[in-house]
Amino acid sequence: MTTIIVCDTCDYSLLDKLHNGKTGGEILAEHVERISTGTAITVRRQSCLMGCERHCNVAIQGDGKLTYVLGKFDPTAYSAEAVVEYAERHAESESGQVPFKQWPQGVKGHFVARIPSLK
Ligand code: FES
């Protein structure tokens, strides 16, 4: 199972933490939760992934697979669609490594870290 962890405390923009009373992370999480409905992807919220300066941040994890941390997302449906599509490719892959040609355009330039699995 692949899980998208969305930081729900990330700022909305460089100037504003909130937009209509919500953080950018909350807005992104809402988009990700809506778009992933009906897929095999699980979504969790986490307060701060320690990448605050490059908001908004997400992590994509699966049992026995590589974990990817991505950041610098605008809290938009476009970003969320790219994250969910990438997570689906991650779920289909054996190791968590998704071939570059399968990357949605919206995740390109957003990778921050790749973390090996514990086993
Ligand atoms: S507030 Fe989102 S990474 Fe710190």
Buried b (16+ CB within 10 A) or exposed e, 70-92: bbebbbeeebbbbbbbbbbbbbe
Rounded to the nearest whole angstrom, what is the distance from the C-alpha of residue 58 to the centroid of ligand 1? 9
Q: State the pLDDT at residue 97.
A: 97
Rounded CA separation 70/80 (Å): 12
Looking at CATH, the fold of the domain delimited by 2-115 is given as Glutaredoxin (3.40.30)
Report which ligand 1 atom has the smallest distance to the Cα of 11. 1
- pLDDT for 76: 98
Residue indicated by tokens 């941040």 = 57
Q: Cα(80)–Cα(82) distance, rounded to whole angstroms?
A: 5
What confidence tier does 119 reach under pLDDT thresholds 50, 70, 90? confident
Q: Which of 6, 8, 9 to mutate to test the pocket of ligand 1 (most atoms within 8 A of CB)?
A: 9
Distance in angstroms (rounded) separating the CA atoms of residues 86 and 102:
8
- Residue 10's CB is within 10 A of a number of other CB atoms, namely 28
| Domain edges within the chain | 2-115
Q: Which pLDDT score is estimated for 8?
A: 98
- E-strand spans in 38-109? 42-46, 58-62, 67-70
Per-residue pLDDT of 57-113, as tens digits, reads: 999 999 999 999 999 999 999 999 999 999 999 999 999 999 999 999 999 999 999
Q: Is the pTM of this model over 0.75?
A: yes
Nearest residue by C-alpha to atom 2 in ligand 1:
10
Which protein residues are within 6 Å of ligand 1, measured from CB?
7, 9-10, 25, 48-52, 55, 57
pLDDT digits (tens, 9 = 90+) for 11-68: 999 999 999 999 999 999 999 999 999 999 999 999 999 999 999 999 999 999 999 9
